[in-house]
Amino acid sequence: MSRITMRAPDPGWTDPDCPVARTLDLVGDRWSLLVIRDAMDGARSFTEFQRRTGIARNILTDRLRRLTAHGLLAQRTMPSGRRQEYVLTHAGRALFPVVLTLRQWGERHAFAPGETHSTLVDQHGTPVPEIVVADSDGTLLDADTTRVRKNR
């Protein structure tokens, strides 16, 4: 499993000991996750990302630079040899369960009953099953059945 490589400890971490806070520092703004989502959906060029998200050019430039600098996207020359494209790295692809969980939460809580929304399907056209979190014996886990253990 690859890790995102930081050049030096970032003094700007919101909470340096918390994996959630560090992750949000990297991808927690609206635009970063939408760029990752669109890369997962096949967007590769600056123009495609801008068209799909409606993001301003300067903000998109910043997000693409940051996601590339932090190892979530990689830049490579397109087959035509004229332009650069952005592709997900291993670390970027590993955000799939995060994006899927956000999507599924949104389907349940961000739409009115009966309101139309998109559906994620597998290669056979079958809707992707809901992600559930369970312990080793299959017992469902939630905020009431887990706790954070500080490692020092």
d(CA 101, CA 9): 29
pLDDT tens string 51-89: 999 999 999 999 999 999 999 999 999 888 888 899 999
Closest CA to 86 of 152, 29, 36: 36
In CATH, the architecture of 19-101 is: Orthogonal Bundle (1.10)
Q: Is 6's pLDDT higher than 50? A: no
65 Cβ contact partners less than 8 Å away, ≥ 6 residues apart: none
Domain ranges of the chain: 19-101
In the prediction, which pLDDT does 4 show?
54
d(CA 101, CA 30): 15
pTM score, two decimals?
A: 0.85
pLDDT tens string 8-26: 445 578 888 899 999 999 9
The answer to whether 100 and 80 have CB atoms below 8 angstroms apart is no
